[in-house]
Amino acid sequence: MKVSVKKLKDLERKITIKVPVEDYESKFNSKIKNIKTKAKIDGFRKGNVPNDVLEQRYGQSIHADVVNELIQESYPKVIRENKIRPASSPKVTIDSEDPKKPLTYSAIIEVFPEIKPKFSRWSNYDEFSIEIEDSDIDKAIADIFKRYGDWKDVDREAKLDDQVVIDFLGKIDGEEFEGNSAQDFKLILGSKSMIPGFEDNIVGKKPSTFSIDCVFPEDYFKKDLAGVSAQFEINLKSVQEITEAKADKDLYEKLQMEVKDQSEFTEEITKRMKNEVAVQEKELTKESMYESLLKTNKFKAPQATVNEQADLMRKDALMRIGHTEDNAGEDLFPVDTFLEKAEKRVRLDLLFAELVQHFEIKVEKKQIDDFIEEESKRYKDPDQYKKWITGQPQQLEQFRMIVLEEQLVEKLQNVLKSKKKVIKFSELADRQV
Span 117-163, pLDDT tens digits: 999 877 789 999 999 999 999 999 999 999 999 999 999 999 999 99
* Sequence ranges of the domains in the chain: 2-110, 150-243, 274-430
Length of the chain, in residues: 433
What are the DSSP calls for 337-354, one per residue?
GGHHHHHHHHHHHHHHHH
Segment 109-114 shows an average pLDDT of 97
For the stretch 21-31, pLDDT in tens is: 999 999 999 99
Right CATH for 2-110 from 2.60.120.10, 3.30.930.10, 3.30.70.1050, 3.40.50.2300: 3.30.70.1050
Is the pLDDT assigned to residue 373 strictly greater than 50? yes
Quote the pTM value.
Answer: 0.79
For the stretch 155-164, pLDDT in tens is: 999 999 999 9
Instruction: Please list, in sequence order, all residues whose beta carbon lies within 8 angstroms of the beta carbon of residue 52, skipping any fewer than 6 positions away.
Output: none
For the stretch 314-366, pLDDT in tens is: 999 998 888 788 777 777 888 999 999 999 999 999 999 999 999 999 999 99
Rounded to the nearest 5°, which phi and psi values hold at 162? -75, 160
- Strand duo 124-131 + 417-424: pairing: parallel
For the stretch 208-230, pLDDT in tens is: 999 999 999 998 888 889 999 99
CB-based contact 227:214 (threshold 8 Å): no
- The pLDDT mean for the chain works out to 93
What is the predicted pLDDT for the residue at 433?
A: 36
What is the predicted pLDDT for the residue at 47?
A: 73
**Residue 310 to residue 325: CA distance in whole angstroms:** 13
What is the predicted pLDDT for the residue at 326?
A: 76
Cα dihedral 362, 365, 371, 372, rounded to 10, equals 150
What is the predicted pLDDT for the residue at 432?
A: 45
**Residue 146 to residue 139: CA distance in whole angstroms:** 11
Q: How confident is the model at residue 16 (pLDDT cuts 50, 70, 90)?
A: very high
233: which strand partners? 169, 211
What are the DSSP calls for 196-220, one per residue?
TTTTTTTTTPPSEEEEEEEE--TT-
Query: Which of 338, 340, 345, 343 shows the shortest CA–CA distance to 287?
Result: 345
**Residue 27 to residue 20: CA distance in whole angstroms:** 12
CB-based contact 341:314 (threshold 8 Å): no
For the stretch 378-414, pLDDT in tens is: 898 999 999 999 999 999 999 999 999 999 999 999 9
44: three-class secondary structure by DSSP? coil
What is the predicted pLDDT for the residue at 431?
A: 53
| CATH no., domain 274-430 | 1.10.3120
Is the pLDDT assigned to residue 45 strictly greater than 80? no
Segment 11-18 shows an average pLDDT of 98
CA 51, 52, 55 angle in degrees (round to 5)?
A: 85
Is the pLDDT assigned to residue 46 strictly greater than 80? no
Q: How confident is the model at residue 430 (pLDDT cuts 50, 70, 90)?
A: low
Right CATH for 150-243 from 3.10.50.40, 3.30.530.20, 3.40.50.720, 3.80.10.10: 3.10.50.40
What is the predicted pLDDT for the residue at 120?
A: 83
CB-based contact 333:318 (threshold 8 Å): yes
Say which residue, 428 or 185, is predicted with more confidence.
Answer: 185
For the stretch 226-285, pLDDT in tens is: 999 999 999 999 999 999 999 999 999 999 899 999 999 999 999 999 999 999 999 999
For the stretch 195-208, pLDDT in tens is: 999 999 999 999 99
**Residue 162 to residue 234: CA distance in whole angstroms:** 16
